[in-house]
Amino acid sequence: MGDKEAVTLRIGVLALQGGFFEHEASLMKALKYHQFEKLIEMEVVEVRDPENVADLDGLILPGGESTTMGLFLRSNGLDVRIREWIHSPERKAIAWGTCAGLILMSNSLEGQKGGGQDKLGGIDVTTSRNFFGRQLNSFEAPLNLKSLPVDQAGCHGVFIRAPAVMTINSPDVAVLATVDLPTSDKPVIVAVSQNNMMATAFHPELTEDPGWHAYFLQKVLNAKSSS
């Protein structure tokens, strides 16, 4: 494996609001801690305009205020460009939304503000925008992981005004993680994937564990290697 030439990956991070700096730092941690630096040459691109999306291999949509983010995406055509990029048959690319990113990537929403919610769609789930309550209700909790191919021992989620997946509406959607709550009689779905898209209700970039970013990078690497 050491004789293989490193694969160049261009990873975009939507840099409108939210923890995009923290995502960039977590990508660098994942590159080092999971020995991807032997396999990957990584370029991180801060995405603010439609032209920034060209030639990306992966894209992270960070947390933030989903209504504001959706309006901005629509105002400068980024929403159309990102949808085209995600669904392009010519380019195998991976998109990952965290917290507000899950809201933006969900096909159906509960608890929308008046006038609805601008979104990208693509993951066939119904998501509750403020399932876990307001900022004061933020918390951390252990995650129940579903067959993630990276070491996630002791992994926990940071939930800040977080959404949650209420229903899975397609057999193509896989559940990646759930969380147990004393107020719920069944585990709450907080991470999903469908085809080349994945989304988490929590903030992996706010923990010391870069495992979720390593999982994302592995998916991006696999997609590019197979194209």
CA neighbor of 224 nearest in space, from 55, 35, 30: 55
Residues, the chain: 227
Q: Name the 3-class secondary structure at 70.
A: helix
Longest dimension (CA), the chain: 57
Q: Is 155 a catalytic residue?
A: no
Among candidate residues 99, 140, 156, 208, the one labeled active-site is 99
48 is in an annotated binding site: no
Among candidate residues 22, 23, 205, 213, the one labeled active-site is 205
65 is in an annotated binding site: yes
Which residues touch 193 (CB under 8 Å, ≥6 apart)? Answer: 123, 173, 174, 176, 199
Q: Is 43 a catalytic residue?
A: no
Rg (CA), the chain: 17
CB 214 within 8 A of CB 36: yes
Q: Is 203 a catalytic residue?
A: yes
- For the chain, first and last CA: distance in Å? 19
103 is in an annotated binding site: no
64 is in an annotated binding site: yes
State the residue for tokens 């195998």.
92
Residues assigned a catalytic role: 99, 203, 205
Which residues make up each annotated binding site? 64-66, 129, 160-161
Which residues make up each annotated binding site for L-glutamine? 64-66, 129, 160-161
